[in-house]
A and B are shown apart, each in its own frame.
Chain A
Amino acid sequence: MARKTPDIPSASLADTAFMMLIFFLVSTTMDTDAGISRMLPPPVPKEEINDDQKIKERNVYVVLINKNDQLMVEGEPMHIGELKKKAKEFIENPADDPTLPEKKVEEVPFFGNYPVSKQVISLQNDRGTSYGLYVQVQDELAAAYNELRNELAQKKWGKRYDDLEKEQQDAIKKIYPQKISEAEPKNYGGKK
């Protein structure tokens, strides 16, 4: 005759569960990691540094930040709020202004022959610049590129850039390549 096994008391189940819950609350964090992704330029051996790669002045958008966190763009002081708009104008050069970057007709999938602007943004900061402003400038410049890409995607396919297929994104990337070049930091502000 099978004997009935006694019931396991389940009153302490809640306590165990609580204990595990508290352990997880204490030892974990909620925040997901996100940020601005960048590639650093590969290291260059000392002997090979040369200035052969001359880029025409009209193709370069010079952004300088000094140690007092002031911005100078193309020789003019500028407020950070205007940077995105001005950078977009520079990158796109809609009216083929001769002071803005030149364009080179290139074969781009989906678009056929498309005039691609030869823009480069040069960003230079001082050792005394605050990191907060530096990230803000990087963010504004990235926003300028992303907005242009979005606008083009809307015009061509009526979709947001993020919703496009991989090939379509690559085509747009070819038209608006993100070229942000960072100069080696200089110590303009004297001793820090």
Chain B
Amino acid sequence: MGKFRDGGKKEVPAISTSSLPDVVYMLLFFFMVSTTMKEVDLKVKMNVPMASEIKKLEKKSLVSYIYIGKPKEKFTKAYGTEPRIQLNDQFADVKDIAEYIDAERQQKDEKEIPLMTTSLKVDEDTKMGIVSDVKQELRKVSALKINYSTKKKVRNN
């Protein structure tokens, strides 16, 4: 029972894991609150441009997305390398947009239709030709509220 005893192996007490669930739950709740569900699996390369004068999109449920960009590598064999439109989970043509917007509208309440926004997620390197076609098509179906999706840029002047 000496106070100074060397030699003699001392066991390190086991670390209590009883608080581990609490820690994990905390992380879980953090992620549940701060993230949103992925809308679709992207099939096109997407690198949206940067801009500073941006507004956050409110009411996610009222937003329909149109993706435009070059098909990802695994799709180039089937779809080529020219920029393509993606609606929901598949490649589409300009003429499919009217149908897509219509389908989106049918899921919503009638009075919410004027509030619906179309978010254009377009790759930086896309030419304006295809974007203009999409915009004309949106005008035809009177989906006039659009949003050019961008990343946040901090302006220094």
**A-to-B contact residues, CB < 8 Å:** 10, 13-14, 17-18, 20-21, 24-25, 27-30, 32-43, 125-132, 134-136, 138-139, 142-143, 146, 185, 187, 192
Contact of A42 among B63, B120, B144 (CB under 8 A): B144
Which chain A residue shows the least CB distance to B131?
Answer: A131
Contact check, B21 vs A13: say whether CB atoms are below 8 A apart. Answer: yes
**Complex Cα–Cα for A34 and B149 (A):** 6
Whether A130 pairs with B128 at a CB distance below 8 angstroms is: yes
What is the bound-complex CA distance between A18 and B21, given in angstroms? 8
Q: Are B139 and A18 in contact (CB under 8 A)?
A: no
B72 interface hit (Cβ, 8 Å) = no
Q: How far is the CB of B39 from chain A (nearest CB, A)?
A: 9
The answer to whether B146 and A143 have CB atoms under 8 Å apart is no
Q: B142 touching A129 by the CB < 8 A rule?
A: no
| B54 and A36 form a contact (CB under 8 A) | yes
Given the interface pairs A21-B28, A28-B31, the reply to whether A135 lies near B51 with Cβ below 8 Å is yes
Which positions 108-147 of chain B face chain A at CB distance < 8 Å? Answer: 117, 119-120, 122-129, 131-132, 135, 138-140, 142-147
Extra contacts besides A40-B139, A43-B140, A131-B128 (17): CB < 8 Å: A29-B35, A29-B36, A32-B36, A34-B54, A35-B48, A35-B147, A35-B148, A37-B147, A39-B144, A40-B144, A42-B142, A127-B127, A127-B132, A128-B129, A130-B126, A130-B127, A131-B126
The secondary structure that dominates the B interface is mixed
Chain B interface residue count, Cβ-Cβ cutoff 8 angstroms = 55
Q: Could you name 17 residue pairs across A and B whose Cβ atoms are closer than 8 Å?
A: A14-B21, A17-B21, A34-B55, A35-B48, A35-B119, A37-B147, A39-B145, A40-B139, A40-B144, A43-B139, A129-B128, A131-B123, A131-B127, A132-B49, A135-B148, A139-B53, A192-B127
